[in-house]
Amino acid sequence: MAREYDLIIIGAGMVGALTAVLTAKKGLTVALVDKHSGQYPLSVPPAYDARVSAISTLSKTLLEEAGAWQRIDPNRLAPYKNMVVWDGLGAGEIDFDAMTQHRHDLGQLVENAVLCDALMKTVQDTRGIDLYLNDTVAEQRYVSDSIEVTLASDRQLQGALLIAADGAQSKTREQSGFDTVEWDYGHHAIVTTVQIDQPHQDTAWQAFGEEGILAFLPLPSIADKHYVSIVWSVAPREAEALLALDETQFCQRLTYAMNRRFTALAITVPRLAIPLRQRHAKQYVQENIALVGDAAHTIHPLAGQGANLGFADVSALVPIIVKAHQRGESLGALKTLRRYQRARMLDNIAMAASMEAFKRAFTTQHPLVVQLRNTGMSLCNASAYMKRQLVAHAAGIHSY
């Protein structure tokens, strides 16, 4: 006999775990399935996790509501109070300062492993959630007005709604027949942690130039030593060449790419290269199924909004299904799920289009385009209103 739940969530990463906790706290029963063990061994600083996320105000509020944010060691958090973006091929520069925007900070940098660990511990302490770890979905089928899944372990689960939170390579999306629009960005993102020669000034630095798109993201300093997480987006062949360099050579190239604003002294964790691909599901919902996070959309990391888009999906979906549950409506009814799709699809498409436009505009070295983008950056930097709108939008507290 299948065990019955209100929700079956596939994927216990950041988005799936947060969805599970927020819905369970509202009285829904949840089965949370993940192919991994749910263990997130934490590194010892300065060996910070190579993959980090910039957490917006909206995302932080959701994590606090779940009780997960409070579990994070403050020493693993790095608030950034400024963001400086410049064109390496010209004089264009934009400086976003939290103080001038009447904000304490622009966001918080946190390692993915640290955030996932806090969320998983919260899941384990939340009533109403059953964990099915080291397991995958072998088969799914519709049963009356619900959906039934058979796991690889032969266990059977039945729920009113199946939520796919299993990432960019979502098997649930594939098994359910969702169509996607996708293409390669022609970039690989090199990520690692680097020690630098001077304080990062609680600033997120981003350069666009002949060396690719490079972000230096602040991490906590230790004993007067300063660290940043880098995301360096370059063509695949260039990524291969950069990975082949020894540590000294790589640090020299990195210093040059940052216009020598900092000197890269050492790498503290192995370098990773992640292929970048734009992907967007044509529909987020079917009867009894909803896609969230990377299962629904992936974008270029140049704006650092990937995790926040996933959390914004959670912010939209959870109230809709909680309200439906309270009204006694079917959680998997298409008319219910389409409310979520309407709430999120246009914003996600707009962000994807913006990232594609930015990528195209800032990866060309055509003199006319360089001149136009430098002029545009200078105009934006001179406009307090434009900067205020951009900061508020990135924080998830305003739409325009």
399: pLDDT strictly greater than 50: no
Q: What is the DSSP letter of 41?
A: P
78-87, 210-219, 238-247, 269-278: range with lowest mean pLDDT: 78-87
pLDDT of residue 356: 61
Q: Is the CB of residue 10 less than 8 Å from the CB of residue 324? A: no
| pLDDT per residue as tens digits for the range 65-82 | 999 999 999 999 999 988
Predicted TM-score (pTM) of the model is 0.90
Architecture in CATH for domain 186-275? 2-Layer Sandwich (3.30)
How many Å apart are CA 212 and CA 233, to the nearest integer? Answer: 6
Residue that wins the pLDDT comparison between 91 and 19: 19
Region 6-27: mean pLDDT is 98
Domain boundaries, given as residue ranges, for the chain:
3-63+112-182+277-365, 186-275
How many Å apart are CA 158 and CA 3, to the nearest integer? Answer: 6
DSSP states of 123-188 as a string? Answer: HHTSTTEEEE-S--EEEEEEETTEEEEEETTS-EEEEEEEEE-S-TT-HHHHHTT--EEEEEEEEE
| pLDDT per residue as tens digits for the range 164-209 | 999 999 999 999 999 999 888 888 999 999 999 999 999 988 887 7
Number of other residues whose CB lies within 10 A of the CB of residue 333: 15
3-63+112-182+277-365 and 186-275: identical CATH topology: no
Residue that wins the pLDDT comparison between 43 and 259: 43
- In one-letter notation, the amino acid at residue 184 is D
| pLDDT per residue as tens digits for the range 365-398 | 656 655 565 566 555 555 555 556 555 555 554 4
How many Å apart are CA 137 and CA 16, to the nearest integer? Answer: 15
- Mean pLDDT value across the chain: 88
Classified by CATH at the fold level, domain 3-63+112-182+277-365 comes out as: FAD/NAD(P)-binding domain (3.50.50)
pLDDT of residue 183: 83
How many Å apart are CA 348 and CA 180, to the nearest integer? Answer: 14
Q: What is the DSSP letter of 88?
A: T
How many Å apart are CA 254 and CA 265, to the nearest integer? Answer: 10
> In which residue are the tokens 């796991």 written?
151
How many Å apart are CA 277 and CA 300, to the nearest integer? Answer: 7
- In one-letter notation, the amino acid at residue 296 is A
